[in-house]
Amino acid sequence: MAATAPPGVEAAFGAGGDGALAGLRWAVARDLRLAMRSRAELGVQLLFYVIVVALFPLSMTPERNLLATMGPGVLWVAALLASLLSLPRLFATDHADGTLEQIALSPYPLEALIAGKVLAHWLTTGLPVALLAPLLALQYYLDGESVGVLVAGLLLGTPILSLLGAVGAALTLGLRGGGGSLLALLILPLYVPVLIFGAGAVDSVRAGLGATANLSLLGAGLALALVGTPFAAAAAVRIALD
């Protein structure tokens, strides 16, 4: 049976297009449109991030050095949890209504389509988290250089969270009941290095050592994730659809 493109693909980018870039563009545009239709869900994720970050200073002593020391770790942990909270919507809805099977049958490479979905996930989850970080960092008394490194680390690290999360979401696709718990168990250990290097970059700056090493490791991790995770997620989706 000949592969058929999902509804709207050919109209958006031209019939017969089978390039990876066209598939990436289509997946990003589609998922962003769907995300904008569920603004309440996006708002809940960002509100969760803000509340988690804001609650810690209220439960601690207002001593400046203590807050500045714990601030980067709190912001990173909250970003990690916000990313994890939104991961199930990457594939679950499309899988439930049969759209994911049509996407897998499209003339576009499945790896490019999944990369587009991950990019849309980061644009609606990771990027807002990074943009909100400077404002939330004020309550932790971080200086300007530390805030700049924090944002740079989040811009490098949150895409890794989305890419790794896509693999976990694909591996747990179709599971009922405990799928969310299993997803967390699979992904959280992989998130630990990102958390360490991201928060460690700010700590290094505050110690006068510079953040080059930590940011370079995050950049290297992002490059590896960009190369490998779309293929791993695509393989897991194909297995789930068989």
Domain positions in the chain? 17-241
**Alpha helices in the chain, H assignment, sequence order:** 9-13, 20-37, 39-59, 64-86, 92-96, 99-104, 110-121, 127-137, 144-171, 179-206, 212-241
Cα-Cα-Cα-Cα torsion 49, 37, 87, 50, nearest 10 degrees, comes to 0
How far apart CA 139 and CA 58 sit, in angstroms, is 10
DSSP codes, 146-192: HHHHHHHHHHHHHHHHHHHHHHHHHHTTT--SSHHHHHHHHHHHHHH
- pLDDT at 52 > cutoff 80: yes
Using one digit for the tens of pLDDT, what is the confidence trace for 218-238? 999 999 999 999 999 999 999
How far apart CA 77 and CA 80 sit, in angstroms, is 5
Residues 236, 241, 242, CA angle at the centre, nearest 5°?
Answer: 100
3-state secondary structure of 6: coil
- What number is the average pLDDT over the span 42-69? 86
How far apart CA 134 and CA 65 sit, in angstroms, is 18
- pLDDT at 23 > cutoff 80: yes
Whether 183 contacts 88, CB under 8 Å: yes
pLDDT, position 18? 52
Q: Which residues contact 192 (CB under 8 A, 6 or more apart)?
A: none
Distances (CA, A) of 209 to 194, 195, 205: 19, 19, 6
pLDDT, position 182? 82
pLDDT, position 176? 65
Q: Which residues contact 157 (CB under 8 A, 6 or more apart)?
A: 76, 79, 194, 197, 198, 218, 221, 222
How far apart CA 221 and CA 23 sit, in angstroms, is 24
What is the rounded radius of gyration, in angstroms, for the C-alpha atoms of the chain?
19
Using one digit for the tens of pLDDT, what is the confidence trace for 35-48? 888 777 788 888 99
Using one digit for the tens of pLDDT, what is the confidence trace for 151-179? 999 999 999 999 999 999 988 887 765 56
Whether 234 contacts 106, CB under 8 Å: no
pLDDT, position 177? 55
Residues 21, 94, 27, CA angle at the centre, nearest 5°?
Answer: 15
Residues 82, 84, 86, CA angle at the centre, nearest 5°?
Answer: 75
Amino acid at 146: S
Place of tokens 């909250």: 78
